[in-house]
């Protein structure tokens, strides 16, 4: 017997099944990242986005279309991370807007809702690009409209729509040459198809477990962290970098593996916290070689929430003598006190939020007047809600947001559209150097609009690059890349590939340093020694006569160097 309608109870199950299917395949989707760098995060961002909504959806005891629509839309909008996550949230927002007006979904309703979803998502992107998740979404809505004229059987319709979505996805490499060269389909489009497959499995009764365990990217302050054997070593701090990260496991991490991992951490540092919580592992270690800890963690899965603080630069260095939970509770209490103090201060005309990974970079931005530095960047995209929470702590009429990454701009814009009691102005900075330049060009005597114009205009004055390494073999822009090669990434894409760190960075600089260049700033990362950075600076000065070179500690993970040329 044909199924012609879907009620709210079944919609709830289908959404949760779609979210769980995406969560289970997030690492596979991450691996579809075009650039073979160690921070491909489309799957992670889409998972965290949809799981933010799934948590609210699973809490509804007696669902209606209206209550589900609100939970899905609000949860995904506030939890959206990265461009793929924001676009997914907009697709869900459009779909649920149409869904909320009915008591049950038919094939005809499905066609209208998918059309609204596509329209909403395209409007959210300033310059939509075909060959992406948007193309797959458009294929879905087009096929849904076609199928609505042919059948009333909703199982048949959804199956046909998903098959067509797979066809469109398979064609994305023909639309984007960079996908074809890398030998992958669009990761965002793949994520969307994975969600639909999970929903279809629930529709047809293939899956029956709809329990949601939130794959949080962080441990919330004040919460209990159940796990298998949290180990804490208390000793005098003799290692320079406080290193923290979370492993999102894709391999078995049993008691033996955990013991071996802790033994490795003990061999490179002290003050160790290693908490295994089902599919994620929270890691904290004091070490002189953060990169070694990251490399070891990558053996077990994808890394997120990577943070490195240079403890030797801290004025009040203390021995870690309390558990992670106690530290989290204390941090939460401090945040609440700071928020209360801020409310008592006179309201400022302007405030600033920026996103940066690395203690050195955070200090640089604070020195330039930034109020709130959100820990993040390419390795960990903050959510829309993270930005809203940071804005809530700033007592100012107008708050400028510097994303410093192209994958965080949409989430920033989304925060600006949601906030009610303040005005968020997003300066579309795509790199750390652009963010620094924008702050330097801010003047208190100007109006908000004048500052916005001046800061945006200043972005063209700086060129930037980053040096990292490849995690797999591939080919990009005609350049053959082998695993562990050094990669120089410029503003326009891959600039250099090599086996020597310094030579690869110099080759990258060759692509954008010219006769008008006056200053090169070199920000070295958490796994680079200061003397090595100074030596590289000398090589740069020899290579580019007449150009001044400044060396500063950035402390960023994954990227050995960030450079700017002005």
Report yes or no: 204 and 14 within 8 Å, Cβ to Cβ. no
How high is the pLDDT of residue 33?
Answer: 75
The pLDDT assigned to 506 comes to 96
Token pair belonging to 279? 């599919």
The DSSP result for 211-236, as a single string, is: ------SSPPTT-----S--EE----
At 399-432, the pLDDT tens digits run 999 999 998 999 999 999 999 889 999 999 999 9
Which of the given ranges, 218-222, 236-240, 245-249, 521-525, has the highest pLDDT on average?
521-525
Q: 235-291 pLDDT, tens per residue?
A: 344 677 878 888 888 888 888 888 888 889 888 887 676 767 667 787 878 888 888
Strand partners, 372: 353
The confidence score (pLDDT) of residue 332 equals 62
What is the pLDDT at residue 421? 86
pLDDT at 119 over 90: yes
pLDDT classification of 443: cutoffs 50, 70, 90: very high
Match 């540092």 to its residue by tokens.
Answer: 269
Range of lowest pLDDT (25-29, 143-147, 211-215, 341-345)? 341-345
Looking at residue 136, its pLDDT comes to 97
pLDDT digits (tens, 9 = 90+) for 154-174: 999 999 999 999 999 999 999
% pLDDT > 70, the chain: 87
Whole-number average pLDDT of the chain: 86
- Three-class SS of 83-135: HHHHHHHHHHHHHHHHHCCCCCECHHHHHHHHHHHHHHHHHHCCCCCCCCHHH
Dihedral (Cα; 479, 485, 488, 489), 10-degree rounding = 70
CB 134 within 8 A of CB 123: no
Q: In whole angstroms, give the CA distance from residue 512 to residue 505.
A: 12
Task: Write the pLDDT tens digit of every residue in 128-153.
Answer: 889 999 999 999 999 999 999 999 99
How many percent of the chain have pLDDT more than 90? 60
């Amino acid at each position: 017997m044909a199924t012609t309608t879907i009620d709210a109870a079944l919609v709830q199950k289908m959404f949760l099944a779609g979210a769980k299917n995406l969560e289970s395949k997030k690492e596979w989707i991450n691996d579809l990242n075009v650039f073979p760098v160690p921070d491909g995060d489309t799957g992670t961002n889409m998972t965290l986005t949809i799981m933010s909504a799934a948590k609210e959806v699973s809490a509804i005891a007696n669902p209606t279309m209206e209550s589900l629509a609100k939970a899905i839309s609000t949860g995904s909008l506030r939890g959206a991370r990265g461009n793929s996550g924001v676009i997914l949230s907009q697709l869900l927002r459009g779909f649920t807007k149409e869904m909320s007006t009915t008591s049950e979904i038919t094939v005809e309703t499905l066609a209208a809702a998918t059309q609204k979803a596509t329209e909403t998502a395209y409007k959210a992107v300033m310059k939509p690009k075909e060959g992406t998740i948007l193309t797959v979404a458009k294929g879905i809505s087009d096929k849904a409209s076609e199928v609505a004229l042919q059948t009333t059987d909703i199982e048949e319709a959804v199956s046909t729509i998903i098959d067509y979505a797979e066809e469109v996805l398979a064609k994305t490499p023909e639309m984007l040459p960079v996908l074809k060269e890398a030998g992958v389909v669009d990761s965002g489009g793949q994520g969307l198809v994975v969600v639909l497959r999970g929903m279809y499995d629930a529709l047809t009764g293939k899956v029956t477990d709809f329990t949601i365990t939130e794959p949080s990217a962080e441990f919330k302050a004040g919460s209990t962290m159940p796990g298998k054997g949290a180990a804490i070593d208390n000793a005098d701090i003799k290692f320079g970098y406080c290193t923290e990260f979370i492993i999102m496991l894709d391999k078995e991490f049993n008691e033996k593996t955990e013991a071996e991992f802790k033994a490795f951490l003990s061999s490179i540092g002290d003050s160790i916290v290693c908490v295994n919580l089902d599919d994620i592992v929270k890691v904290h270690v004091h070490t002189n070689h953060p990169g070694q800890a990251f490399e070891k963690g990558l053996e077990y899965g994808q890394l997120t929430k990577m943070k490195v603080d240079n403890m030797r630069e801290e004025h009040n260095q203390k021995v870690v003598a309390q558990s992670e939970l106690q530290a989290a509770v204390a941090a939460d209490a401090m945040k609440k006190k700071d928020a209360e103090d801020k409310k008592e201060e006179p309201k400022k005309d302007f405030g600033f939020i920026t996103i940066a990974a690395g203690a050195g970079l955070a200090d640089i931005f604070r020195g330039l007047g930034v109020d709130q530095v959100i820990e993040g960047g390419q390795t960990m995209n903050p959510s829309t809600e993270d930005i809203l929470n940071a804005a809530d702590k700033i007592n100012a009429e107008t708050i400028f947001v510097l994303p410093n990454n192209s994958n965080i701009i949409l989430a920033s814009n989304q925060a600006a559209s949601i906030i009610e009691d303040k005005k968020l102005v997003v300066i579309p900075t795509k790199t750390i150097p652009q963010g620094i330049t924008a702050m330097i060009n801010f003047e208190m005597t100007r109006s908000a609009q004048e500052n916005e114009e001046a800061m945006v205009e200043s972005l063209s004055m700086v060129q930037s690059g980053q040096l990292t390494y490849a995690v797999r073999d591939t080919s990009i822009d005609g350049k053959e890349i082998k695993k562990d090669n050094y990669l120089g990434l410029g503003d326009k894409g891959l600039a250099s590939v090599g086996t020597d760190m310094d030579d690869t960075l110099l080759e990258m600089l060759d692509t954008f340093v010219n006769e008008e260049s006056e200053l090169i700033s070199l920000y070295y990362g958490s796994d680079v020694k200061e003397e090595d950075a100074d030596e590289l600076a000398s090589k740069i000065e020899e290579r580019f006569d007449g150009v001044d070179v400044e060396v500063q500690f950035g402390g960023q993970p994954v990227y050995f160097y960030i450079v700017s040329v002005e």
